[in-house]
Amino acid sequence: MKKLINDPADVVADALRGMALAHPELRVDHENRVVFRGDGPRQGKVGLVSGGGSGHEPMHGGFVGRGMLDAACAGEVFTSPVPDQVVAATQGVDGGAGVLHIVKNYTGDVMNFEMAAELVAAESGTEVVTVVVDDDVAVTDSLYTAGRRGVGTTVLLEKIVGAAAEEGRPLAEVADLARRVDDAGRSMGTALTSCTVPAAGKPTFDLPEDQMEIGIGIHGEPGRRRVPLAPAREVAEMLVEPILSDLSFTGGEGVICFVNGLGATPLLELYVVYAEVAALLDKAGVAIARSLVGPYMTSLDMAGATVTLLRADDDLLRLWDAPVVTPGLRWGA
Amino acid sequence: MKKLINDPADVVADALRGMALAHPELRVDHENRVVFRGDGPRQGKVGLVSGGGSGHEPMHGGFVGRGMLDAACAGEVFTSPVPDQVVAATQGVDGGAGVLHIVKNYTGDVMNFEMAAELVAAESGTEVVTVVVDDDVAVTDSLYTAGRRGVGTTVLLEKIVGAAAEEGRPLAEVADLARRVDDAGRSMGTALTSCTVPAAGKPTFDLPEDQMEIGIGIHGEPGRRRVPLAPAREVAEMLVEPILSDLSFTGGEGVICFVNGLGATPLLELYVVYAEVAALLDKAGVAIARSLVGPYMTSLDMAGATVTLLRADDDLLRLWDAPVVTPGLRWGA
């Protein structure tokens, strides 16, 4: 295993130390492994809490800041945060207007966030609403999931819903919006290589030199099928077609088109994929209203990419364009 | 070779198509493979042109925009842009105040930018000043270089000098500033794996599973030595010590500390490295004034990282903090 780490057991703690040092505008609770906005909690603002296993950076800690998340819980690599972490995050962002939990649909995450929501409600009466993201069209039910997995739509949702919370919208409205974004987003990914979890010390799965996995999960969960390596234009088709078959993206203002790198795939290649995705959408009559290309939801050192399409109306686009100031996404301020 | 591309011969052209589609605020000259600001040329503003071989994205095309570069020439992967490209870029950004060429110190780049500067001067009388970046302390002379290689300081320089040009400073002053930034910056990198150039189809070099290369170049040029894999805190020391030995970074306002990922190294690990670098600087009495952590100057799919320290005064920090609006770096607007 070739990694720039110290002891594999310390990787999350060490990375959080680095994050705190590199981003003094954030506040890191090292004991609970929660990344907070430095200027929180904001009185009267709905608090947005997300989190999940580490190894997907910048998601989620890199999306904490003005116009996005108020806190993110960092679990061990590819492991749900425990309820105590989520409790600390929820209490730490509580500004009296309630808290929204944004949870990717993996069994452990859903269970631990739910337990934390109950604990917080019982202890302090804070109102917590949970929205589960389940946008991966590749498979229903997966290695760690009942129902669809939560992937790329999570990034777009955290941005859009973060802007709405920043505007001071009430909890019920923010939660409705989050559900609306989840309903409007679909994703599908491919892996060219496995990733290696530090504590495991070896690749999560084997993928022969001449094959790729279509429909991969962001923890290396099996996808739909293995196919021989193919040119980017065919790969793009294998990712876009199932998305377009699952939901209609025509009409309205078009889509936010997100081509995400899984870690080891260079930006050069992501732009090649983006060009092919854009050509396919053009042929299908789907207009691209906004785009995002880069490694925003990674899977450690996995080579591969995911495509997310989010059907957008004017309200969503306005919230997408609103200022955001986080380590991972930043514009307008 | 596992890559998300079409024909290896088309990878740069395909990526530029994707870039143009993803960033409508830029203008891409596909024939000459130059990325321009969409709102250029700016009358009365010094034009900033950089470029080099492709495969280092987001550098340089991703740094085109307000407050940074006016144009970037994309050579073939790891190959200097030809003089015609640089001529097209230089003429395209000429707003009557002269043009600065920012060139990384590799023999081909230096030669082709020089030839282009002469051609432009002869054709249109445009004044061109060239600044060569040579900040890599690892080796003097290298596979493609006479003198030190140009690496991470280039990113910081393009940001800082870009802000100065945006303020309307004259060419001589902008060029002086660029030289001052180059003089004040030092870098050193390490590779855990090779990269694979698409046209070659196989790794550029072999690096055994239990070894790393200290002092690597961003095209896989040999460094100082190969050592057994080591924990991040020892690796950080192997990178920081030669930098601190080469130039004094104490006093003044401190440094801009840039921990850069070479492509396949996850952000999680870059933060681990950053924490170790910060600890070493603290011990050495070097204050960190600003930081940047992420994959900004990559080497295709190479696993590894580089450390750059730039000695900063108030003027440099103010220019660093000034608004920048590019695909790769964005803040303040």
Q: Let me know whether B32 and B157 are in one domain.
A: yes
Q: A55 vs B266: CB contact, 8 Å cut-off?
A: yes
Beta strands in B142-233 (DSSP E): 185-191, 211-214, 225-228
Asked whether residue B145 carries a pLDDT value surpassing 90, the answer given is no
**Closest-approach residue (CA) in chain A for B278:** A21
Q: Let me know whether B48 and B122 are in one domain.
A: yes
List residues of B with catalytic annotation.
56, 219
> What contacts B172, CB < 8 A, 6 or more positions away?
B129
d(CA B46, CA B98): 5
Q: Let me know whether A24 and A101 are in one domain.
A: yes
The answer to whether residue A3 sits within a structural domain is: no
The answer to whether residue B6 sits within a structural domain is: no
From the list B268, B298, B300, which residue is nearest A55 (CB)? Answer: B268
Q: How many C-beta atoms lie closer than 10 Å to residue A125's C-beta? A: 8
pLDDT in tens, B282-308: 999 999 999 999 999 999 999 999 999
**Closest-approach residue (CA) in chain A for B269:** A4
Identify any residues that bridge with A101 across adjacent strands, giving them in sequence order: A49, A130
Q: Give the best residue of B54, B193, B271 to mutate against chain A (max A CB count within 10 A).
A: B271
d(CA A332, CA A324): 6
Chain A CB within 8 Å of residue B268 CB: yes
pLDDT score of B177: 98
**Closest-approach residue (CA) in chain B for A193:** B2
Q: Which residues of A touch B265 (CB under 8 A)?
A: 4, 301
Q: A275 vs B21: CB contact, 8 Å cut-off?
A: yes
* CA distance to A66, A280, A318, B274, per residue, from A162 (Å): 8, 30, 12, 28
Asked whether residue B318 carries a pLDDT value surpassing 90, the answer given is yes
pLDDT in tens, B231-246: 999 999 999 999 999 9
Question: In chain B, how many domains are there?
Answer: 2
Residue where a domain terminates, one of A128, A161, A184: A184
DSSP string, B92-136: HH--SS-EEEEEES-HHHHHHHHHHHHHHHHHH---EEEEEE--B
Q: A288 vs B14: CB contact, 8 Å cut-off?
A: no
Q: B4 vs A304: CB contact, 8 Å cut-off?
A: yes
If contacts are CB pairs under 8 Å, which of residues 162-191 in chain B contact chain A? Answer: none
The answer to whether residue B89 sits within a structural domain is: yes
Q: Let me know whether A132 and A276 are in one domain.
A: no
CATH of the domain at B212: 3.30.1180.20
Chain B CB within 8 Å of residue A7 CB: yes
Q: Which of B301-328 are b and which e, b meaning 16 or more Cβ less than 10 Å from the residue's Cβ?
A: bbbbbbbbbbbbeeebbebbebebbbbb
The answer to whether residue B165 sits within a structural domain is: yes
CATH of the domain at B172: 3.40.50.10440
Q: Which residues of A touch B78 (CB under 8 A)?
A: none
The answer to whether residue A4 sits within a structural domain is: no
Q: Let me know whether B158 and B208 are in one domain.
A: no
Sheet of B26-29, strand order: B26-29, B34-37, B71-77, B47-54, B99-104, B128-133
Q: Let me know whether A203 and A62 are in one domain.
A: no
pLDDT in tens, B1-57: 999 999 999 999 999 999 999 999 999 999 999 999 999 999 999 999 999 999 999
Q: A3 vs B54: CB contact, 8 Å cut-off?
A: no
Query: For B326, how many CA atoms within 13 A lie in the half-sphere containing its CB?
Result: 29
Tell me the pLDDT band of A42, cut-offs 50, 70 and 90: very high
The answer to whether residue A222 sits within a structural domain is: yes
Residue where a domain terminates, one of B184, B214, B249: B184
DSSP string, A193-233: S--B-TTT-SBSS---TTEEEET--TT----SEEEE---HH
Residue where a domain terminates, one of B164, B184, B204: B184
The answer to whether residue A8 sits within a structural domain is: no
The answer to whether residue B3 sits within a structural domain is: no
Asked whether residue B185 carries a pLDDT value surpassing 80, the answer given is yes
Domain that holds residue B306: 185-324+327-331
Whether A101 is catalytic:
no
Residue B277: both structure tokens together: 């670098």
Q: Which residues of B touch A6 (CB under 8 A)?
A: 231-233, 272, 276
Sheet of A99-104, strand order: A26-29, A34-37, A71-77, A47-54, A99-104, A128-133
pLDDT score of A143: 83
Residue B73: both structure tokens together: 């020439």
Identify any residues that bridge with A29 across adjacent strands, giving them in sequence order: A34
Q: A271 vs B22: CB contact, 8 Å cut-off?
A: yes
Q: Which residues of B touch A232 (CB under 8 A)?
A: 4-6, 14
Determine the residue type at A328. Answer: G
d(CA A82, CA A329): 26
Q: How many C-beta atoms lie closer than 10 Å to residue B173's C-beta? A: 13
Tell me the pLDDT band of B207, cut-offs 50, 70 and 90: very high
Asked whether residue A250 carries a pLDDT value surpassing 90, the answer given is no
d(CA A5, CA B269): 6
Q: Let me know whether B216 and B165 are in one domain.
A: no
Q: Let me know whether B201 and B136 are in one domain.
A: no
Q: Let me know whether B232 and B124 are in one domain.
A: no
Q: Let me know whether B170 and B217 are in one domain.
A: no
Q: Are A158 and A48 in contact (CB under 8 A)?
A: yes
ipTM of the complex: 0.98
Identify any residues that bridge with A227 across adjacent strands, giving them in sequence order: A212
Q: Let me know whether B304 and B316 are in one domain.
A: yes
pLDDT in tens, A18-38: 999 999 999 999 999 999 999
d(CA A83, CA A24): 26
Q: Let me know whether B177 and B191 are in one domain.
A: no
